Amino acid sequence: MTPFAAEMIGTFFVILLGNGVVANVVLIGTKGNNSGWMVVSTGWALGVFVGVVISAPFSGAHLNPAVTFALAIAHKFDWAKVPLFILAQFIGAMAGTSVMYLMYKDHFEKTHDSGLKSAPFFTTPAIRNKLSNFFSEAVGTFVLIFVIFYLTNAEMGTDKTPVGLGSLGAIPVAFLVWAIGLSLGGTTGYAINPARDLGPRIMHSILPIGGKGSSDWGYAWVPLFGPLTGSALAALLYLWLTI
C-alpha cells in the first residue's frame, strides 16, 4: 500500500467510526440514542485505533493535517510530502463521512433538529466564544502532538519506522485520544484535526440532507486553525527541549 492510500484509507475509517458514533448517540431512533459523552469519546478513540492499525506500517499513520504539519516543523517529515498527505486525509474524511450518512440516512430523516443533524458531521462549541474555542482546540491538539513527540524517538527514513500516530502504537494512541476527549473535549467537541472537521463540513453542505440547516461556515476557521496552531507550538517546544 502506498503512503497516500494508507493515509486516505486510515482517515476514512477514523471518520466513519468517529462520526458514526456521534450519529448513533444523537440521531432519533438509533440503538445508541442518548448514550452520552463517554460513548462518543470511546468511539472516537477506537476509530483512531482502527485507522492507526491500517496505516501505520505504510505512512506512519498521520491521519491528521496537524500531525503532518507538526512533524514537518520538527524536521521529522519531508515538507515536499505534506500536501500529498493532507490531500489524502481530506479525501478519506469526506468519503468516511459520506458512508456514515448513507448508513444512518433513515435516522437523519427521522431527526428534525438541524443541530442534531449536523453533529455527526462537524463540531460546534458548547458555549460559542470563538477566541476561547480557538484556545480549546489549540490546547487539545498541543497535548496530542507533544505526546507523540515526547514519548517516541521515531524518525523518517528508508530503514526506520515512519513517524506519526503509529509510532506510539495503536493502543497507546487510542488511550491518548480517549483522554483528550474525556478531559478536554467538553468545550468544543475536540476536533483536534482540520480534516476531521472541514472535510465532513464540506460534505454536510453538499449532501441532500433534508432540513439540515446551516453548515456554520462562520465557525469553521476555529477547528481549522486552532489545531494547526497547537501543533506548531508543540513542535516548537519539542525542538527547544531537544536543543
Which amino acid, residue 60? G
Angle separating helix axes 82-103 and 3-26, nearest 10 degrees: 30
pLDDT in tens, 2-16: 999 999 999 999 999
How many separate helices (H) and strands (E) can be counted in the chain? 10, 0
Q: Which three cell numbers stand for residue 47?
A: 476509530
Q: Which three cell numbers stand for residue 10?
A: 486510515
Cβ contacts of residue 230 below 8 Å, gap of 6+?
66, 137, 138, 139, 140, 141, 142, 144, 145, 192
Residue 171's pLDDT is: 83
Euclidean distance between the first and the last CA atom of the chain, given in angstroms as a whole number: 36
Spatial distance between the Cα atoms of 72 and 66, rounded to a whole number of angstroms: 10
Q: What's the domain count of the chain?
A: 1
Sign of the CA dihedral with 127 first, then 135, 222, and 227 last: negative
Q: Which CATH number is 161's domain given?
A: 1.20.1080.10
Residue 91's domain comprises 3-241
Residue 155's pLDDT is: 46
> DSSP code of 167?
G
Q: Which three cell numbers stand for residue 96?
A: 468516511
Reference 97, options 167, 29, 190, 22; nearest CA is 22
The fraction of the chain above a pLDDT of 90, given in percent, is 86
pLDDT in tens, 95-123: 999 999 999 999 999 999 999 999 999 99
Spatial distance between the Cα atoms of 83 and 74, rounded to a whole number of angstroms: 16
The fraction of the chain above a pLDDT of 70, given in percent, is 93
Taking CA atoms, 35 is separated from 63, 109, 186, 196, in Å, by 27, 20, 15, 22
Banded model confidence at residue 53, pLDDT cuts 50, 70, 90:
very high
User: Phi then psi for 89, rounded to 5 degrees?
Assistant: -65, -40
Spatial distance between the Cα atoms of 119 and 42, rounded to a whole number of angstroms: 16
Banded model confidence at residue 229, pLDDT cuts 50, 70, 90:
very high
Angle separating helix axes 170-184 and 37-59, nearest 10 degrees: 150
